[in-house]
Amino acid sequence: MNNLINGEFNLSNESLKEDFSLLTQAFDAANTGIVLTDNRLPDNSIIYCNKAFEQMTG
């Protein structure tokens, strides 16, 4: 994920985009349904689900 540099995380936008892209590729390759929600939002909105989850739920 994010690189640890001098005891601090490197949180550049580019590295975050790369990390998210890698995660979504891994999630999409999974046979198990995966859903991510944002618990900071009042309704705990779904922010991502993989194809297996979509197939399971329609």
Provide the residue ranges of all domains of the chain, joining segments of one domain with +: 4-57
pTM: 0.63
How does pLDDT run across 17-57, given as a tens digit for each residue? 888 888 889 999 999 999 999 999 899 999 889 999 999 99
Distance CA 15, CA 28 (A): 20
**When comparing pLDDT for 11 and 35, which is higher?**
35
Sequence-distant (6+) residues with CB within 8 A of 1 are: 19
